[in-house]
Structure 1
């Protein structure tokens, strides 16, 4: 199926014209074509998997796109749209869209009046319409965590990478009434900072050392009681 989609997309790109400001694509699954950029809008029709569609633009966060399928016009989630990018088929995203000619468009009453006058729900515009609010991009692009305990010795690790390339990792270990935690953070430009903390049940205290990106350090000790 993937090979077939790739071949079809490659041919479809030849059919598309730059004058139309549109991009030929393929649907990756059976997906509802809706009357607006949200699942709350009525379904116009169902676009079958592998069908040729023409993308006329997407809302600002590129999560929903205005597409044409045969005689129908409506909105499909971008996660079901596949285009050719750098010689291969990829799912449409905010990173890919500008490179393949998909622009940002808006949605409103004019669109509804243009394409849905004959629909039974046409006069229910006020029931369905909600101003589109783009969803903020996630600040974390990847993360992981793990924990193991063997004979009373427990170790936990966490890692995360941010949208601009920075990352942070942390390791915690506890055994025999002693616990330690080390956190290392690297910014998108390579600057780093760290924190090391250790706590002891024996003397009921915790020690902490922080190191900044320019090498400066700060230390502290805190006692606790049960």
Structure 2
């Protein structure tokens, strides 16, 4: 029953420490001890710069309970950095500010939990006496100058690295945002370029279609004109022999309203023997019948044949009726002279 109570007490003591573990860094290579003191056995060696979990520290913060890899033990606080306000600080310089939990060291329960298979475990009674005699020294924080110098330099270096990482993170985020904006801009420009190219291609296709239709219409009109030209040429070729035959045919008597009639042969009227004017009669005056001496005008139509008279000679009407010559005679004056 007593042993079971010890295990329960150890579990109760360890549960809050495990829950309140904070990240830490070892500033230099250091020994992980089985208890809070230089005289306790060495559990393992922790290389400098290694990450550890700080579960708590003794009162006075001289030694801290840490875990590294699969081991658990105690490390002097002068070789530790503690995560404080998102950056690592040298633990002894921030004793009054950090919120590291204060934990006790109970050798029997602690060793039973973590060192049951270790060679020194069967000497638990000896080490319990050692702890009782050295407990007052383990709670005093004594800092080695070289260890403090190493710890502060490591803390400054880690702080600079943290700031650099934070700055790099900010730069990376800014670069990522810039790249994202650039990528979005490129996508938008690409989309705009694609839209413009599609529109241009549609315009080109529409223009090409329209031009093709116009060329087809022009070609059709050209073929139609050529066909009509060939047809006209064939018609002209067919009409040439007919025109040549028309030019070689004799002229056809024109119709009454197209060409004048053929002129009838001119028939000279028979002129009777006219007596010469007698100089004794009028003494040089004009002949009595001057019209008889003038040439007769051409008759527009053929003269009618003379009708035979009683004396056997044809009766010629020398002058028209109702007209008088210069002598003022009647229509038959010539007959009277005869």
Structure 2 length normalisation: TM-score? Answer: 0.33
Higher Cα Rg: structure 1 or 2? Answer: 2
**Larger strand proportion of the pair:** 1
**Larger helix proportion of the pair:** 2
